[in-house]
């Protein structure tokens, strides 16, 4: 008896997800797919299905709305993520957080390394942990290596908020949620964020909630 191909069920799963128009359902924390280290993508999907899936990720990211989305967040164990950030923020926030516009990008088999010792801490949220945000200290600059949607190599340094997005989405592919890296005393509901912690930096939150900001 022939051994069943491991690729067919994955393709079938994606075809089933794409059978309905509109955004894909986002998987919430507690689903094992979000705690799995995803193996490298090696052409599991044919070109047409890959393109359709990437487009569905983009539609879902926009609808959420968010600035990044990883395949496991829609229940698909593929080492693929998408990012895009129009960065519609006030100038004060842009300067404090280094938040600049990012065009739509597809990250295939991404990994990152810190590009220098500097760290930055800001509130961060996740589409798979709806309703909450917490302060996460991350490297302020990272070197990203991956491939794009056409299989072309990417080796690029990201700084500021784009570096945070790259780290957050790549972490998803290693079974890591932002809460694993967060200062838990900073955990705040979206309502509390809107009422109390909208400043460009979390310094006031740190003083009020009793946690230390990284030096």
Question: Angle formed by the axes of helices 7-18 and 47-63, to 10°?
Answer: 50
Percent residues over pLDDT 70 in the chain:
96
pLDDT, one tens digit per residue, over 115-156 is 999 999 999 999 999 999 999 999 999 999 999 999 999 999
- The domain limits of the chain are 24-209
pLDDT for 104 equals 98
pLDDT, one tens digit per residue, over 59-88 is 999 999 999 999 999 999 999 999 999 999
User: CB neighbours (10 Å) of residue 10?
Assistant: 16
Name the residues annotated as catalytic. 169
Q: State mean pLDDT over 170-192.
A: 98
Q: With a cut of 90, say whether residue 3 has pLDDT above it.
A: no
In angstroms, the CA 35 to CA 173 distance is 9
Q: 134 pairs with which residues across the strands?
A: 124
Q: With a cut of 70, say whether residue 6 has pLDDT above it.
A: no
Q: The tokens 């090696």 sit on which residue?
A: 42
pLDDT for 8 equals 55
pLDDT for 12 equals 94
pLDDT, one tens digit per residue, over 36-61 is 999 999 999 999 999 999 999 999 99
Q: 178 falls in which pLDDT band (50, 70, 90)? A: very high
Q: Is 168 annotated as a binding residue?
A: yes
Measuring CA to CA, which residue among 78, 66, 65 is closest to residue 33?
78
pTM of the entire predicted model: 0.94
pLDDT for 214 equals 77
SS (H, E, C) the chain: CCCCCCHHHHHHHHHHHHCCCCCCCCCCCCCHHHHCECCCCCCCCCHHHHHHHHHHHHHHHHHCCCCEEEHHHHCCCCCEEEEEECCCCCHHHHHHHCCCCEEEEEEEEEEEEECCCCEEEEEEECCCCCCEEEEEEEECEEEEEEECCCCCEEEEEEEHHHHHHHHHHHHHCECCCHHHHEEEEEEEEHHHHHHHCCCCCCHHHHHHHCCCCCC
pLDDT for 164 equals 98
Q: 183 pairs with which residues across the strands?
A: 135
Measuring CA to CA, which residue among 157, 148, 164, 9 is closest to residue 80?
148
pLDDT for 146 equals 98
CATH 3.40.50.720 is held by the domain 24-209: no
pLDDT for 20 equals 87
């Amino acid at each position: 008896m022939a051994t069943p191909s491991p690729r067919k069920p994955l393709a079938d799963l994606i075809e089933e997800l794409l059978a309905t128009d509109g955004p894909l359902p986002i998987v919430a924390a507690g689903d094992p797919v979000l705690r799995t280290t995803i193996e490298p993508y090696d052409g599991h999907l044919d070109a047409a299905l890959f393109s359709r899936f990437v487009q569905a990720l983009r539609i879902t990211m926009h609808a959420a709305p968010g600035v990044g989305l990883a395949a496991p967040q829609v229940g698909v164990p593929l080492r693929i993520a998408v990012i895009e950030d129009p960065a519609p923020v006030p100038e004060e926030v842009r300067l404090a957080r280094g938040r600049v516009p990012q065009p739509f990008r597809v990250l295939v088999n991404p990994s990152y390394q810190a590009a220098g010792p500097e760290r930055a801490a800001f509130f961060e949220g996740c589409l798979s942990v709806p309703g909450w945000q917490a302060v996460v200290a991350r490297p302020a600059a990272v070197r990203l290596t991956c491939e794009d949607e056409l299989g072309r190599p990417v080796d690029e340094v990201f700084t500021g908020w784009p570096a945070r997005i790259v780290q957050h989405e790549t972490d998803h592919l290693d079974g890591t949620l932002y809460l694993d890296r967060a200062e838990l005393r900073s955990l705040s509901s979206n309502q509390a964020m809107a009422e109390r912690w909208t400043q460009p930096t979390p310094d006031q939150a740190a003083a009020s909630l009793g946690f230390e900001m990284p030096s």
